């Protein structure tokens, strides 16, 4: 079994300030972990993925995430927020099989001008 908890349903930051979106997971297997972004009325786009290589993963648009096994966390960060980052972000875990991808409930990122 696997699960994902996104610790904040909404995060609001000012443009140019750092972004932190928090994610904790549980999995019976060695998991793969992903962050996806969904802009309003759009499909989902992969930001980055962790698949048991380097624990610090760099993604698109300046985002990165660090896999911490001891804390079962996979938090998403960006040094400087841009207005175009406003979207819904999903943390996702998979161990394969019948569980497929398990999505967190999402974090709505709001960027203040």
From 3, 51, 80, 84, residue interacting with other proteins (rule: CB under 8 A): 51
Report the distance separating Cα 26 and Cα 94, nearest Å: 10
With CA atoms as reference, report the closest residue to 48 among 37, 59, 63, 61.
59
Report the distance separating Cα 99 and Cα 66, nearest Å: 23
Looking at the Cβ atoms of 15 and 108, the one nearer to other proteins is 108
Looking at the Cβ atoms of 56 and 98, the one nearer to other proteins is 98
Measured from the CB of residue 105, what is the shortest distance to other proteins in angstroms? 5
Q: Write the DSSP string, 54-108.
A: -SEEE-GGG-EEEEETTTTEEEEEESS--GGG-EEEEEEEE-SGGG-EEE---EE
Q: Is 63 in the site for other proteins (CB under 8 A)?
A: no
Looking at the Cβ atoms of 15 and 88, the one nearer to other proteins is 88
Q: Is 44 in the site for other proteins (CB under 8 A)?
A: yes
Measured from the CB of residue 71, what is the shortest distance to other proteins in angstroms? 21
Binding site for other proteins (CB under 8 A): 4, 9, 32, 34, 36, 42-46, 49, 51, 90, 94-106
């Amino acid at each position: 079994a696997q699960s994902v908890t996104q610790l904040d349903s909404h995060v609001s930051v000012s443009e140019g300030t750092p972004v932190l979106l928090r994610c904790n997971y549980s999995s019976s297997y060695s998991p793969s972990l992903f962050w996806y972004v969904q802009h309003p009325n759009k499909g989902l786009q992969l930001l980055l993925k962790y698949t048991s290589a380097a624990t610090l993963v760099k993604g698109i648009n300046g985002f990165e995430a660090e896999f911490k096994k001891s804390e079962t966390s996979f938090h998403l960060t960006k040094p400087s927020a841009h207005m175009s980052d406003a979207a819904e972000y999903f943390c996702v875990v998979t161990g394969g099989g019948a569980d497929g991808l398990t999505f967190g409930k999402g974090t709505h990122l709001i960027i203040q001008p």
